[in-house]
Amino acid sequence: MARSQGSHFVVTANTTDSGAPVYLRHDRTWTPAIADAHPAADTQERDDLLAFARSQEDSVCDPYAFKANVEAGRVVATNNRERIRSTGPTTPLRRDDGVTPAEN
């Protein structure tokens, strides 16, 4: 489906099994990639998608909508929170202790 440039709404939730963020596609399936999310063009479409998302609460938790932009056909978050939520922590994850147990 063609995606118009500019400001839209994206519906998101966290999965029940892992808590990972997921985004609602146009076909009303969930994707972990924000770029593949469906950008709702207006509040009516947003509310319809949200209503559907709330019916999915076996598999996802606490759905909500946020504002996003479409740039070069891809959905991108417009605020820090959703940007970090969509891409993961900006800090190193597992602390590299530099040694293996066998070396100690």
Partner 1 sequence: MYQYDAHDQRIVDERVAQFRDQVRRRLAGEITEDEFKPLRLQNGLYMQLHAYMLRVAIPYGLLSSAQLRGLATIARDYDRGYAHFTTRQNIQYNWPELENVPKILDVLASVQMHAIQTSGNCIRNTTSDPLAGIAADELEDPRPYCELIRQWSTFHPEFAFLPRKFKIAVTGARTDRAAVRVHDIGVCIVENDVGERGFEILVGGGLGRTPHIAKQVRAFLPYEDLLSYLEAILRVYNRYGRRDNKYKARIKIQVAEWGVEKFAAAVEAEWAQIRDSSTKLTRDEIDRIKGRFITPTHETLPAEDLDALALTTDREFARFVKNNLRAHRVAGYTAAVISTKPQGRPPGDVSDTQLDALADLADEFGMGEVVVMHDQNVMMPNVRQRDLRTFYDRLTAWDLGTANAGRLTDQICCPGLDFCNLANARSIPVAMRIAEHFDNLDYLDDLGDLSLKMSGCINSCGHHHVGNIGILGQEKSGSEAYQLMLGGSPGNDASLGKIVGPAFSSDDIVGAVATVLDTYAQQRESREETFLDFYRRVGLAPFKESLYGTDQGRRSRSG
The contact pattern for partner 1, residues 72-91, with x = CB under 8 A and - = no contact, is ------xxxx--xx--xxxx
- How far apart (Å, rounded) are the C-alpha atoms in residues 93 and 104? 23
Nearest CB to partner 1, comparing residues 16 and 43: 16
In angstroms, what is the minimal distance from the CB of 62 to partner 1? Answer: 6
Residues sharing a CB contact under 8 Å with residue 52, sequence separation 6 or more, in sequence order: 24, 28
| The token pair that represents 28 in the structure block | 């009303």
- According to DSSP, the residues that pair with 40 across neighbouring strands are 9
Which residues contact partner 1 by CB under 8 A? 14, 16-21, 57-58, 61-62, 78-81, 84-85, 88-101, 103-104
